[in-house]
């Protein structure tokens, strides 16, 4: 009987010791280097874009005096604010630049949408806080919209970075 009690006590002690052991930590996996919060040219692009809020829309427009379309607005701002020549359609602009994940966007990155039943048919400039500036034909003015707004969230294609 005493032997059974001793065995039971040993078994209980082993069980409790196993329950109280510290699990081993998962193997450390180094994180990918994070992008800086913003680059100087990216900030300049975002600030310049803010100055064009309420500029009129014009299909094919490439300057604020005549009106801007989305790709014309981007080309105009990138040229004036950063000295970077980006021309062509939104799809042409999307072919250049470095792909960026939606969660890694920073001011000055470009965001692309499928708004005409065609990938990369619309482009805007990300300014931070889930917002972007663009020149939509609807309502005919350069404006700020939320990336998470239902219309844009459903049509988001990709983002591109053009600065380090």
Give catalytic residues, as residue numbers: 70, 122, 134
Q: Per the domain annotation, does 7 fall within a domain?
A: no
Q: Is residue 26 part of a domain?
A: no
What is the domain extent for residue 57? 40-161
Model pLDDT, residue 34 = 61
For 82-128, write each residue's pLDDT tens digit: 999 998 999 999 999 999 999 999 999 999 999 999 999 999 999 99
pLDDT in tens, 7-17: 344 443 443 34
Please report whether residue 114 resides in a domain.
Answer: yes
How many angstroms separate the Cα of 132 from the Cα of each of 25, 29, 48, 63, 66? 41, 33, 13, 19, 22
Whether residue 3 lies inside any domain: the answer is no
**Do the beta carbons of residue 59 and residue 120 sit within 8 Å?**
no
pLDDT tens, residue by residue, 31-66: 455 656 778 999 999 999 999 999 999 999 999 999
Strand partners, 133: 125, 144
**Residue 6: inside a domain, yes or no?**
no
| pLDDT: which is higher, 162 or 32 | 162
- How confident is the model over 58-81, as a mean pLDDT? 97
Report residue 161: phi and psi, to 5°: -105, 145
Q: Are 115 and 155 in contact (CB under 8 A)?
A: yes
- Tell me whether residue 85 is in a domain: yes
Six-digit token string for 27: 């193997």
Domain-located, residue 95: yes
Instruction: Look up the CATH number of the domain holding residue 130.
Output: 3.90.1720.10
- Residue 20 CB neighbours (<10 A): 7
* Secondary structure (3-state) at 141: strand
Rounded distance, CA 109 to CA 50, Å?
A: 14
Does a structural domain hold residue 48? yes
Give the count of domains, the chain: 1
Query: What are the C-alpha distances in Å from 130 to residues 12, 55, 147?
Result: 56, 22, 5
- Name the pTM for this structure: 0.78
């Amino acid at each position: 009987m005493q032997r059974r009690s001793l065995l039971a006590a040993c078994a209980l002690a082993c069980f409790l010791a196993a329950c109280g052991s510290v699990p081993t930590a998962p193997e450390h996996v180094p994180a990918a280097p994070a992008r800086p919060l913003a680059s100087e040219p990216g900030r300049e692009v975002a600030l310049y874009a803010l100055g064009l809020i309420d500029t009129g829309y014009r299909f094919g427009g490439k300057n604020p005096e005549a009106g801007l379309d989305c790709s014309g607005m981007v080309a105009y701002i990138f040229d004036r604010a950063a000295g970077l020549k980006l021309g062509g359609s939104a799809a042409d602009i999307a072919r250049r630049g470095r792909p960026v994940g939606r969660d890694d966007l920073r001011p000055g990155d470009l965001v692309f949408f499928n708004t005409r039943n065609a990938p990369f048919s619309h482009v805007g400039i990300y300014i931070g806080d889930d917002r972007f500036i663009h020149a939509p034909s609807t309502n005919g003015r350069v404006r700020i919209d939320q990336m998470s707004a239902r219309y844009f969230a459903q049509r988001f294609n990709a983002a591109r970075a053009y600065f380090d």
